[in-house]
Amino acid sequence: MAFSDEMRDAAYYHYSPSYKYSLGIELVDEKKAMKNHTNFRYTYLLNRKNTQNSQRNLYFQSSLSVGGNDEYSYGFLGDWETRRYFIGFGAQELKSNLRNYDKQYVQIGFAPYLGDYGNLHSWLMIKSKHDSRTNKWNTYPVIKFFKGDYLLEFGVDENDELDIHFMIRF
Amino acid sequence: MRYLLFSILIFPSFALAEAVMHTDHSNHSAHHSHEGHLHTQLVDGAEIKLDAERFDKFVADQSGSQIAVISVSGMVCDFCARGIEKTFQKDTGFRKIDVDLANGKVLLAYAATKKIVKKDIEQKILSNGQTVTDIQILTAQ
């Protein structure tokens, strides 16, 4: 998965030995601090509820950086989705020997049409995220496409900063 | 700048929406000829609901194959369901798969000689994050 916004560019590779957890390595370029570091991430599924028409998830996520700042993080991610609607949230606490900060986001969306398996699927979303370093909420539209093994999520905020996720399923 | 980018991205989305709705309408007509769903009565008296047109298309080239009809909950996303296909493709005797997101069904075609273990199918679906609620094995005519 690749990610880019005004604070960082990141590439994340993860492996899920089981649906319960995944282990990953994240290569991060902190744009404002002008430094690179590597995070090891661990994500654990705390709770999942499958129904005929929906899925709900709650994850614990943590990371440990080996970039020199002794940064580590922990937090929670959650989502609920049907084929038509999506609601997601996340909260993360990040600590290092330089500073501590936290990040949160909420995201809601809907699919304007319901594609069949193998079709191009599209989502229109609104994302709002907060970073205690800038101490402001940033709300902006996001559009998500996926087809086959490829997923692209693309958002642009009021400062024309991009928020991009690109994912390939191997 | 951002409005231009979004216009470029959103336009194909709505164009596709219109195309899909048109397709749905065509399918709707076809469903009428099949009375919406095929109800297959099994030897043990159980009944399974299937999209008739979809099932017929799936088994058209599978004469003699065993067909596993799997009811799955939590299968709400195409991208997430991809893992199911990848997992079963590795099975010996695997021939074909179809994922019906709208009805929460997975159809698997296996060679007639394949010993199908329902527990194994359940475990594979679960490992992808979804839950199996029912499995029926049919033989394609």
B21, B82, B130 member nearest A169 (Cβ) = B82
- Residues B17 and B78 reside in one and the same domain: no
> Does B112 contact chain A (CB < 8 Å)?
no
- Residues B107 and B89 reside in one and the same domain: yes
- Residues B18 and B62 reside in one and the same domain: no
Contact B75, B104 (CB under 8 A): yes
Between chains, do A146 and B129 touch, taking CB under 8 Å as contact? no
- 3-state SS, chain A, equals CEEECCCEEEEEEEEEEECCEEEEEEEEEECCCCEEEEEEEEEEEEEEEECCCCEEEEEEEEEEECCCCCCEEEEEEEEEECCCEEEEEEEEEEECCCCEEEEEEEEEEECCCCCCCCCCEEEEEEEEEEECCCCEEEEEEEEEEEECCEEEEEEECCCCCEEEEEEECC
- Residues B65 and B22 reside in one and the same domain: no
Between chains, do A114 and B128 touch, taking CB under 8 Å as contact? no
Question: Which residues in chain B land under pLDDT 50?
Answer: 18, 20-36, 43
> Mind listing the domains of chain A with CATH numbers?
2-168 (2.40.160.40)
CA distance B55 to B52: 5
Query: Which CATH number goes with the domain that contains B102?
Result: 3.30.70.100
Mean pLDDT of the A102-111 span = 96
Between chains, do A48 and B100 touch, taking CB under 8 Å as contact? no
> Does B79 contact chain A (CB < 8 Å)?
yes
- Residues B74 and B131 reside in one and the same domain: yes
B10, B14, B82 member nearest A149 (Cβ) = B82
Give the domain range for residue B8: 1-33
C-alpha distances in angstroms, B15 versus A143, B18, B79? 15, 5, 21
pLDDT at A66 over 50: yes
Burial class (CB in 10 A: 0-12, 13-18, 19+), B140: middle
- Residues B25 and B74 reside in one and the same domain: no
Contact A1, A150 (CB under 8 A): no
- Residues B72 and B21 reside in one and the same domain: no
Domains held by chain B: number? 2
- Residues B66 and B3 reside in one and the same domain: no
pLDDT at A27 over 90: no
Q: Which residues on chain A are in Cβ contact (under 8 Å) with B99? A: 117
Burial class (CB in 10 A: 0-12, 13-18, 19+), B105: buried
- Residues B4 and B70 reside in one and the same domain: no
Residue A156: closest CA among chain B residues belongs to which residue? Answer: B2
Model confidence pLDDT, tens digit, residues A74-104 = 999 999 999 999 999 999 999 988 889 999 9
- Residues B18 and B67 reside in one and the same domain: no
> Does A115 contact chain B (CB < 8 Å)?
yes
pLDDT at residue number A144: 95
Structure tokens at A170: 């191997």
Model confidence pLDDT, tens digit, residues B104-138 = 999 999 999 999 999 999 999 999 999 999 999 99
> Does B49 contact chain A (CB < 8 Å)?
no
Distance (Å) from the C-alpha of residue A163 to the closest C-alpha of chain B?
12
- Residues B29 and B57 reside in one and the same domain: no
Between chains, do A82 and B100 touch, taking CB under 8 Å as contact? no
- Residues B89 and B102 reside in one and the same domain: yes
Whole-model pTM: value is 0.80
Give the max Cα distance, chain B: 63
